[in-house]
Amino acid sequence: KEKLRDDALLKKSFFLAKKNWDNADFIWSVKLIEILKNVFKIEKLRELQLPTMNAIMSKEDVILIMPTGGGKSLCYQLPAVMSKGITVVVSPLVSLMEDQLYGLRKLDIKANMLCAKADKESIKMTMTALVDKSCPLKLIYITPEYMAKSNRFMNKLQKAYELGHLERFAIDEVHCCSQWGHDFRPDYKFLGVLKSMFPGIPILGLTATAPTKIIVDVQKMLDISGCLVLRASFNRPNLYYEVRRKPADKETRLAMIENLLKNRFNGKSGIIYTTTIKDAEQLTTDLRDRGIKAGCYHAMLEANYRSEVYSKWMLGKYQVVVATIAFGLGIDKPDVRFVIHHCVSKSMENFYQESGRAGRDGKKSVCLVLYRLADIFKLSTMVFQDKVGLQNLYKVLAYCLDQTSCRRSLIATHFEENWKENDCAEMCDHCRKPISVRKQIDVAHYCRQLYQIMTKAVQNEIRLTALKLVDAWYWKGVSSLRVSNVPVPNFTRETAEAIIGYLLINGYLQEDFHFSAYSTISYLKRGPKSGLVSGDNDHKILFNYELY
Ligand code: ADP
Ligand code: MG
Ligand code: ZN
């Protein structure tokens, strides 16, 4: 019976996907364009905005997957203005809701918000509006927490439904429904009741998180498995992707960044992302010492100071803002010509979003990652308690370690997008300058050597961080870790780090977290796949890498 149901749902979503939603001959089409221009002051719709609105206006359930900044909000805001009844928007962050309300009020669109910090008067007004068909209120923004806890709201919502005054639900950041997502929110579970409580009321889910596994989970959770799924492209053709090794030595590293800012990015505006507040402050100081006009931005700075930094950067008084990821929401500068990651991001989603702040005006811009293995462990201790934290981080590591693939194809694959060989047009470091020798090396031999060192460490009751493991491999550090038949490698430390990174990603090594009084430390131990490389069997671990 279940199988029959699944088949039917599959057929339904296939049928929906085939339908031409891009048409301009729906009964609302003329009105839609009119409102777009006159109310929203927007000239042209972007990719998938029209299909989404047409489908949701046709009362279909829709999940829209579109990169951040793509324009998802318009897809429920415009239909809300066009419709008589009320659109309920579920959104996880009060700050996001406040931004939207501010924007809508400027356009003279009536919207309100329900959350723990909303004042009593405003809540009362919103509740009344729900059951008053003559009230001009179009949108109600609500947190999932509030919805799950407020019987009063749900009661009014039911009344609105009976009155025919409830138009649709829009669920922003809909991936929060799924446990597989990077920020699962338990309160989103409550949204599972909407479909059965309000039959016939369409649901629009919006997210920038693409994996099919998550989308399928979300569909099940919301009970909209046969819905239309629309995916916008994640490709940003004008962004040039590049990864560089980050010099371990501080002076060399600063000289490199100085050189970039004074030559390649001379006179251009950009952002440098760091992981910690301390790093952001230190790097700002170091760059200023080198005569670079740099501003610093992170969450611990006062709001006034932060907005001053932002405006100086907008006006070009700062060439660059050195920031933590707190610098993100609401950045609206079209001519960001470069985004440098001074430390890798914690997931490909984060990387895509942060680097994507470059080139909003469509002109060529650079997304440069400075990579070192040590930075991975700095982040892993911050994310490992999250269920999929390490998995996400290792995807970034794989992106950095890759010496041959097109960066753009790696990103496309991550977002489950089809990729054609020549789509990059030399807009990444690997396509511009392909490595001539593309051969696979077998690193199983090195893996065995590392295991020998690790065995010795266990015997000596020493725990090995990645750094210490590399040291021991090169016969540096404690002499008790030296294994006589493991010679010092005849390649650079960077290659050694790359091999360790590769073994980590592939489960031959694994991180082992320990708590000290003030911090968490990541040690390395044998991974779940270590059994495959025991003794002198001929198990191969092939790595596409040029040893140097
Ligand atoms: P998302 O939710 O997908 O991250 P938003 O809905 O916040 O994106 O929209 C990002 C920005 O794009 C907003 O400033 C919005 O006004 C603008 N925008 C949306 N659609 C269009 C359009 N068709 N033309 C121009 N700007 C648009
Ligand atoms: Mg959004
Ligand atoms: Zn490429």
Q: Which ligand is nearest to the CA of 75?
A: 1
Query: What is the pLDDT at residue 182?
Result: 66
Is residue 103 within 6 Å of ligand 1 at its C-beta? no
In this predicted complex, what is the ipTM? 0.98
Question: In whole angstroms, what is the distance from residue 475 CA to residue 480 CA?
Answer: 10
Query: What is the pLDDT at residue 10?
Result: 84
Query: Around ion ligand 2, which residues have CB less than 5 A away?
Result: 72
Return all residues near 205 (Cβ < 8 A) that are at least 6 apart.
62, 63, 64, 170, 171, 174, 177, 218, 222, 224
The ligand 1 atom at the shortest distance from the C-alpha of residue 46 is 23
The pTM (predicted TM-score) of the whole model is 0.84
Q: Give pLDDT tens digits for 37-81.
A: 999 999 999 999 999 999 999 999 999 999 988 899 999 999 999
Rounded to the nearest angstrom, the distance between the alpha carbon of 316 and the centre of ligand 3 is 31
Is residue 93 within 6 Å of ligand 1 at its C-beta? no
Intervals of the chain under pLDDT 70: 181-182, 436-438
| H or E, element range at 207 | strand 203-207
Residue labelled with tokens 């649709």: 168
**Would the CA dihedral through 92, 95, 96, 100 be positive or negative?**
positive
Rounded to the nearest angstrom, the distance between the alpha carbon of 173 and the centre of ligand 2 is 7
For 523-547, give the secondary structure using H, E and C: EEEECCCHHHHCCCCCCCCEEECCC
Question: In whole angstroms, what is the distance from residue 140 CA to residue 270 CA?
Answer: 37
Strand-strand pairing, 294-297 and 320-323: parallel
Is residue 71 within 6 Å of ligand 1 at its C-beta? yes
Is residue 70 within 6 Å of ligand 1 at its C-beta? yes
Q: Which ligand is nearest to the CA of 172?
A: 2
Query: What is the pLDDT at residue 15?
Result: 85
Rounded to the nearest angstrom, the distance between the alpha carbon of 68 and the centre of ligand 2 is 6
Is residue 77 within 6 Å of ligand 1 at its C-beta? no
Q: Which ligand is nearest to the CA of 96?
A: 2
Rounded to the nearest angstrom, the distance between the alpha carbon of 475 and the centre of ligand 2 is 52
Q: Are 51 and 230 contacting, i.e. CB atoms less than 8 angstroms apart? A: yes
Q: Are 89 and 139 contacting, i.e. CB atoms less than 8 angstroms apart? A: yes
Rounded to the nearest angstrom, the distance between the alpha carbon of 245 and the centre of ligand 3 is 18
Rounded to the nearest angstrom, the distance between the alpha carbon of 188 and the centre of ligand 2 is 17
Question: In whole angstroms, what is the distance from residue 209 CA to residue 392 CA?
Answer: 12
| H or E, element range at 219 | helix 212-222
Residue labelled with tokens 């046969």: 226
Is residue 405 within 6 Å of ligand 1 at its C-beta? no
Question: In whole angstroms, what is the distance from residue 188 CA to residue 205 CA?
Answer: 12
Question: In whole angstroms, what is the distance from residue 540 CA to residue 343 CA?
Answer: 32
Q: Give pLDDT tens digits for 364-400.
A: 999 999 999 999 999 999 999 988 899 999 999 999 9
What does each C-alpha distance from 281 to 51, 297, 321, 380, 410 come to in angstroms?
A: 45, 8, 11, 22, 32
Q: Are 76 and 89 contacting, i.e. CB atoms less than 8 angstroms apart? A: yes
Q: Which ligand is nearest to the CA of 352?
A: 1
Query: What is the pLDDT at residue 18?
Result: 84
Helix (H, G, I), strand (E, B) or coil at 93: coil
What does each C-alpha distance from 462 to 447, 458, 509 come to in angstroms?
A: 19, 6, 17
Rounded to the nearest angstrom, the distance between the alpha carbon of 374 and the centre of ligand 3 is 26
Is residue 74 within 6 Å of ligand 1 at its C-beta? yes
**What 8-state DSSP symbol labels residue 320?**
E
